[in-house]
Structure 1
């Protein structure tokens, strides 16, 4: 098998981890072909993610140019994960408080959604995308009969934000984003105690985040859940396909599933990399970076750094003191980690009961510069 040609191509390679091991031998280097600095070990990755000069968007382009003037661009520009500075700090606190949902509530909703999707005989690939979107949609406060539309609209929003989106995909994304904002505003204004209303209440109590940003970040919960959730659950399916004995153990002992999901997050995470953009001259790992430089942080390589986890290539659901950068580090660390893991656990539980022929390996991986999502059909 030929190794990937660069760390972006590695995301969709059948087995990128030997290549990532080679990257770690050059933990912070400039890739001339990509025009990016590449942070590949745990120390360099954490240093980039914690450096205040390293932003989530280029300072001169907070919204991708193709999205300017569209509803999907307005939505993108208000997402807490796509902004920096004081406004981001206020919004992040509100988002984190809203996502502090008791685990039993998340698990119960995930079981309801998994059962409903199984009853509709969704194929495996469709199930991977539908489950996280339906669960987060229900937690936000959307009625069950609205969830299929929410999933379809979010598919179009995510497609429009992709770097290689076509004009037609951006047009559909604009329509989908406008519709999602309207639907979410209705949920926020209705009775109930879903995540959307909780986010509004926290924002009003804490201050620093306006109502339009509240709506955008409520939609943002779905944006973050869709592809990353499909990747996490899909990579967990692949992990069990490659390990029949572990799958048999999980069939008889579902208590293995939480540790198994956490080990997938460490060993084969959905977010393989993330980017940062240098706003002012700074130094990282002994190298001088200039304003305008960009950095690719290879989370999947850093997670297998022996300095982070002993014997890092061994897949061990019972691994003690597991450490991972899969949900980020520093001010942009994702506060939805517990919800994402719970959805994947329930999804695996449902598939162990219902999937008649467990795939030994994925048929391939969906095109993406950063999210590893297997496809099985």
Structure 2
């Protein structure tokens, strides 16, 4: 098997981890001239890049991708707290994190189990059915938590698929146009939830923003939609990679089938071993030194989270999938002021999906390897051969 052509393409490679290991050994921090950016592969250099106060989540000159400007998709993107660095972003982020944290693990688990059962009962769990499930389950759970009615959820999932495709780098004008139309529809639907006294998590986001003060109401709506979009590929990847982890390890699968309390730990090891978030970028707003190298304002650092997770300095024997791993450490959720809060909702969705499949997916139907990986910013397996 040929290695990935570069660290960006690695995300869709069948097995990028030997390539990552080579970078760890030989070039833990280096300049990739072909890509025009710096690459941080080791735990030490990845942490340094993520912690640098010079790092931004978007280029200063392009806060919104040019392809999205002037449309509803760009309006949402420009208001996402995880994509901006202003003081208003900090206030909005506080309100949003506090509201998401108000969803207890028990509440998330109940909703996840309800929809995992509903979406797998009587479903054709062939490879195409698994491809549909890993996207449908996160959208139904998060959409329901936001306050959408069950009858609305399939349409919500369809619109979010179009929106996520539009904001992906390199999307065609036609895809951006369709995604913009879907984004405008999602804004209207989400605003309806916010205006409803019992509008679920979307309404609570609005109330938290009002208490914080100084937050644009349109940012609340955008970030409710953004919660769905952030869940779309990332949680599909987490569930899909967890399915592969069990499919490739029959003994572990039988152990988990007999003791479902093992599933949360299994999901945590998947997040370390084969995470959906393989990399992230930091755009430097000023000159800085990282790992002994002088970087300039305007430089970009590609942080290989998945490589850092397999750094022996972070986790001994890192290439072994170990359900019982002690002191598991990972950079999957980032590090520093732009770190993502560890998403208990995503974990609950993956656990519930695995639990339902252990009951309903026949032994012979568990996939040990994917047919491929989707072109996405997340590592999302494809089960059905095209």
Q: What TM-score bracket applies, with the shorter chain setting the length?
A: over 0.9
* Contact 1:99–1:335, Cα closer than 8 Å, also in 2: no
Q: Describe how 1:331-342 pairs up with structure 2 within 5 A.
A: 331-342=337-348
Q: Kindly state the Cα deviation for residue 120 of structure 1 after the two structures are TM-superposed.
A: 6.1
Report what 1:97 is aligned to.
Answer: 98
| 2:166 aligned partner | 160
Question: Which residue does 2:279 correspond to in 1?
Answer: 273
Aligned alpha-carbon RMSD (Å): 1.1
Partners of 2:200 and 2:51 lie apart in 1 by: 32
Instruction: Look up the SS of the partner of 2:30 in the other structure.
Output: strand
Following superposition, the deviation at residue 175 of structure 1 comes to: 0.5
| Number of residue pairs aligned between Structure 1 and Structure 2 | 376
8 Å CA contact 1:99–1:336 kept in 2: the answer is no
Structure 2 residue 10 is matched with structure 1 residue 10: yes
The separation in 1 between residues aligned to 2:191 and 2:341, in whole angstroms, is: 23
Please identify runs of 4+ aligned residues in structure 1 that moved more than 2 A: none
Q: What do residues 18-42 of structure 1 show as CA deviations (whole Å, max 9, x unaligned)?
A: 1101111211110111111000011
For 1:107 and 1:193, the matched residues in 2 are separated by 20
Within 5 Å, give how 1:228-239 maps onto structure 2: 228-239=234-245
Structure 1, unpaired ranges of 5+ = none
Q: Which residue of 2 aligns with 1:365?
A: 373
Q: Which residue of 1 aligns with 2:51?
A: 50
Which residue number corresponds to residue 120 of structure 2?
118
Q: When the two structures are superposed, what TM-score results if normalisation uses the length of structure 1? A: 0.98
* 1:161-201 per-position Cα deviation (integer Å, ceiling 9, x unaligned): 01121111111111100000000000111122621111111
Once residues 178 and 275 of structure 1 are traced to their aligned partners in structure 2, the CA distance between those partners, rounded to angstroms, is 28
- The answer as to 2:302 corresponding to 1:296 is yes
Matches within 5 A, 1:175-214: 175-192=181-198, 194-214=200-220
How far apart are the structure 1 equivalents of 2:118 and 2:149? 13
When normalised by structure 2's length, the TM-score is 0.95
Q: Distance in 2 between matches of 1:60 and 1:280?
A: 13
* Contact 2:96/2:205 (8 A) holds in 1: yes
SS of the residue corresponding to residue 99 of structure 1 reads helix
Q: Note the C-alpha offset of 1:335.
A: 2.1
Cα distance in 2 for partners of 1:105, 1:268 equals: 27
Task: Give the Cα–Cα distance (whole angstroms) in 2 for the partners of residues 286 and 89 of structure 1.
Answer: 31
Task: Work out the CA distance in 2 between the residues paired with 1:41 and 1:17.
Answer: 13
Kept after mapping to 1: 8 A contact 2:193/2:199: no
